[in-house]
Structure 1
Amino acid sequence: MAAPNRTVRVLYVASDLPCPPGQGSHLRILNVARQLAKAYSVTFVYAGPPAAQDRLEATRAVFGDIVVMPTVSWPLTGAAARLRHKVQFHWPWYHAAPVARSDKARFARLHREHDLTWFHTLAPADSLGLRRPEHAVVDLDDLNHVKYRLKLAADASLRLRTADRILAYKWSRWERRALDRFDAVAVCSREDRRVLGDHERIVVIPNGFDKPAETPTWTERRAMRLGFLGHLGYTPNRDGMHWYAREVWPKIQRVLPSVQMRLVGRHDPRSDFSHVPGFTHLGFVEDVTEEMATWSAMVVPLQFGGGTRLKILEAFSRMCPVVATPVGAYGLDVTHERDILLSSDPEGFAARCVSLLQDPAKGQPLAEAAWRTFVRHYDWDVIGDTIRSLVRTLAP
């Protein structure tokens, strides 16, 4: 990727390929690397499972030539493969399979040739066997121990609560050690910085969203619609929408029987809402601008999860009012009744949705304030200044 200033060389390392973007972490990787490339020479390294060729080609189309270091694991099938997947997905010291020894040596040479190495999450550093790399930043864009801690309240059984309590403890220790391993730790929010210890070497780099080419304008909502945006294969999204369909939606329908609920995002067989009266699943929509302009509000009913919700920032960027749980709005610089409506209980959540459906004009001041919040804090060009400031501080 071309850069106007090549005096600083940055090695950007990720365990996932961001193109085409299909989830929040992809957008984080893509935009942080792009902001770095605006000022520095960036080499993109992929250290993760063997990747599909189309994803490699799509990522190369953005970053040019990328360095690929696939992780290696023993081939397993059946129950053994499922067990390994579960262990690697959840347990911190097994979450990253190693790369080949030759790739570790190749990476060591690359690391020496660059001024700063930026890791997206701990996974690629662990795959490469790096305990204390010099001149290095790790971006913890999703604190796993926060996710498991929040999930405790939603767990239905003692077995799940016990497992998540153990995982929250294990991940907390693993993630807090990042300060001992790296020169700086990037997180998504002040809340994440606080739970890691509020150290001066923890830098808040918020998640963002691309600013529209033209400033959006408020349009009056005429359809009796609410909407949800997100992949329902993601457990927090799926769990939140099941809670909403079970606890909130019937309360809304009792007041407004003709209301519609529109779901936008990839379908998942575990999340079939076709049996819920009033629900319509549109699947993936390339450009949601026109669809979202018909919603009286986007709902974000998450009960647990880590990081920050890009769906809220997307709604803000399109002047769509948002009703969310406090967990759904975790980490965002928002205030109830200023730029968002918040409620953690089904009655309050339903009442806020009904209020916007019955009087859509109430959404205008919320949406306009949300746009101002977005422009001030969550435009990637604004966030880029913080990213480049960190590089100037750390690069030798």
Structure 2
Amino acid sequence: MNSARPRLAFVSPSFLFPNDTGGRIRTTNVLRGLKGGAFDVTLLAPASAAQQRDWAGEIKGVCDRFIAWEPESARPQWMRALGLWRDLPVNVQSDRTPAGLRAVHELLAGERFDVVVFDFVHAAVLRPAHVDAATVCFTHNVEAEIFARHVKAAGNPLMRAVWASQAGKMQQFERTALRAFDTVVAVSERDADWFREHYQLAAVDTIPTGVDLDFFAWREPPALDEAHAPTLVFTGSMDWAANIDGIRHFLAEVWPRVRQARPDARLVVVGRRPPATLVEQAKALPGVQLTGYVDDVRPYVHAAHVFIIPLRVGGGTRIKAFEAMAMGCPVVSTAIGIEGLDVQPDEHFLLRDAAQDQAEAILRLLGDAALRNRLSRQARRCVEERFGHRVVARVFERICLDALQRRATAAVAA
């Protein structure tokens, strides 16, 4: 350990590997960029002995020291349903484990850190009442806004009532938790403005969404001929409510329009643990494949002619959009699907919200190789110039150094 550097503790409520969610990808990229920089980094997260053994190389690449607590087994749905009546939102309750609380409290009580970062606002349930360090919360979304959007999208009155109740609890938790931090990091200016307006937060900084440009290398979109059937692709965790809602709606409202015009078209949905109801919906439709978990999404994206982001709910920024752009796959997205990303419609992607408009944009791309190639090259150039993950990590590091400096200045003034 290099004691000459200030010490940073990074508390993650989940194990980061495999990188199969947007949040894990973003956090891993930031930590990888922090390693060897201004801070000596201790990462604290739940991890079994098997996970620590199987991912030892990846763990070493993101921190100077790793401390684990034993993860709890996943709770069945009926147990989660019982939590609907508690004061905390259900997804926050699941992070408040005895092992996690004990690990965080013991580490911060037993060692001196200069900066402590909590990853996601959920992790604030593990925070001690007093932390003798500059405190930073790394938010990946406006969680209350996601819940509110689920209220609007829910068709079932009972589910609408459940989402409304959870939205109120999340807003209260998020407001209280974020106000307790010295600095809040948002992933877009839009999210930062939301925090300032709704929670009256003063110290909110923003990092851009970054992508690993070496890993997600660019390729020219494939030809569309007898050997390459017109292919659409979506990537994302299929156990996340926003992705499930978006794909369900796409299958019901957009896909039939595409298939009517292009009967040979294929849709590949790449992501872990799709629910049984979605699997059954996909089986009943021609040309649709749900892969489940895959080790590497790149072959699926490179083989596709169009990358779809049909989200109707959600928050934060979508890393999947920048990954697709980096790899050269033309993107068709809803406004929510591209929200918070500083890219231009018709220059870097096609923006469409209504089902008919999405279908028409997809068919336009399938029929126009020149347009596919133009969007592919312009989007890659944009990501290269402004959104590489090393640039993002330097911004995050500067935010943490500024938080440390403000705390030191305040201590002198006191």
TM-score category, normalised to shorter length: 0.7 to 0.9
Identity %: 22
How far apart, CA to CA, are the structure 2 residues paired with 1:182 and 1:267?
34
Matched with 2:277 is: 270
CA contact (8 A) 2:137 2:185 kept: yes
* In 1, Cα distance between equivalents of 2:205 and 2:77: 42
Show CA shifts across 1:279-327 (max 9, x none): 1234444344343233221111111112222221110110110011111
- What corresponds to 2:145 in structure 1? 146
In structure 2, do the counterparts of structure 1 residues 104 and 18 end up closer, same or farther at CA, with 3 Å as the change threshold?
Answer: closer
The alignment status of 1:57 with 2:66, answered yes or no, reads: no
- Among 207, 230, 236, the alignment partner of 1:230 is 236
If the length of structure 2 is used for normalisation, what is the TM-score? 0.84
Deviations 1:84-136 (A, max 9, x none): 489698347745425367646522334x5111111102333322433666411
Aligned to 2:175: 176
CA RMSD, 1 decimal: 3.0
Range with bigger deviation, 205-214 or 75-84:
75-84
Deviations 1:113-165 (A, max 9, x none): 11111110233332243366641101111221111122222110233223323
CA displacement 1:246-276 (0-9 Å, x = unmatched): 1001111121122111222234233211221
Query: In the alignment, which residue of structure 1 is the partner of 2:67?
Result: 67
1:35 to 25, 33, 36: 33
Separation in 2 of the partners of 1:85 and 1:6?
Answer: 47
The corresponding residue for 2:302 is: 293
Superposed, 1:146-225 pairs within 5 Å as 146-197=145-196, 199-212=201-214, 216-222=218-224, 223=228, 224-225=230-231
Paired residue type of 1:384: A
Match of 1:360 in 2: 369
Query: 1:231·1:267 contact (CA, 8 Å) conserved in 2?
Result: yes
Aligned to 2:381: 372
Q: Establish whether residue 10 from structure 1 lines up as the match of residue 19 from structure 2.
A: no
Are 2:343 and 1:337 aligned? Answer: no
Contact kept? 1:299, 1:323, Cα under 8 Å: yes
Q: Distance in 2 between matches of 1:228 and 1:131?
A: 43
CA distance in 2, matches of 1:267, 1:162: 26
Mapped contact 1:226–1:296 kept (Cα < 8 A): yes
Q: For 1:239 and 1:63, how far apart are their aligned partners in 2?
A: 33
Q: Deviations over 1:15-53 (max 9, x none)?
A: 11102222122222322222222312111112x5xx433
Matched, 1:320 2:329: yes
Counterpart residue type for residue 370 of structure 2 = A
TM-score, normalization: structure 1? 0.87
Residue-by-residue CA offset, 1:322-379 (whole Å, 9 max, x unaligned): 0111111122112221111111111001000010011132112212221122123321
- Secondary structure of the 2:165 match is helix
SS of residue matched to 2:25: helix
Aligned to 2:106: 106
1:242 maps to what in 2? Answer: 248
Q: Aligned pair in 2 of structure 1 residues 371, 53: CA closer, same or farther (>3 Å)?
A: same
What are the within-5 Å matches in structure 2 for residues 118-137 of structure 1? 118-130=117-129, 134-137=133-136
- Select between 91-100 and 238-247 the one with higher mean Cα deviation: 91-100
Distance 1:166 1:206, change over 3 A: farther
Figure out how many residues of one structure are paired with residues of the other and give that number.
389
Amino acid at match of 2:360: A
CA contact (8 A) 2:237 2:272 kept: yes
Gaps of 5+ in 2: 409-414
- 1:54–1:377 distance in 2 versus 1, CA, 3 Å: farther
8 Å contact 1:356–1:363 — kept in the other structure?
yes
Q: Tell me which moved more, 160-169 or 85-94.
A: 85-94
C-alpha displacement at 1:217, in angstroms? 4.3
Residue 154 to residue 78, structure 1, CA distance change in 2 (3 Å): closer
The answer to whether the Cα contact below 8 Å between 1:227 and 1:299 also exists between their aligned partners in 2 is yes
1:58/1:10 Cα in 2 relative to 1: closer, same or farther (>3 Å)? Answer: farther
Q: CA deviation at 1:182?
A: 0.9
* Worse-superposed segment, 278-287 or 188-197: 278-287
**Cα deviation, residue 219, structure 1:** 3.7
Unaligned runs of 5+ in 1: none
Is the 8 Å Cα contact of residues 376 and 382 (structure 1) preserved in structure 2?
no
Partners of 1:240 and 1:45 lie apart in 2 by: 33
The 10-residue stretch of structure 1 (129-138 or 372-381) with the greater mean CA deviation from structure 2: 129-138
Return the alpha-carbon distance in structure 2 between the equivalents of residues 239 and 31 of structure 1: 27
- Identify the range of structure 1 (11-20 vs 278-287) with the bigger mean alpha-carbon deviation: 278-287
Alpha-carbon offset, residue 8 of structure 1? 1.3
Q: CA deviation at 1:77?
A: 8.1
| Aligned-partner Cα distance in 2 for 1:259–1:72 | 43
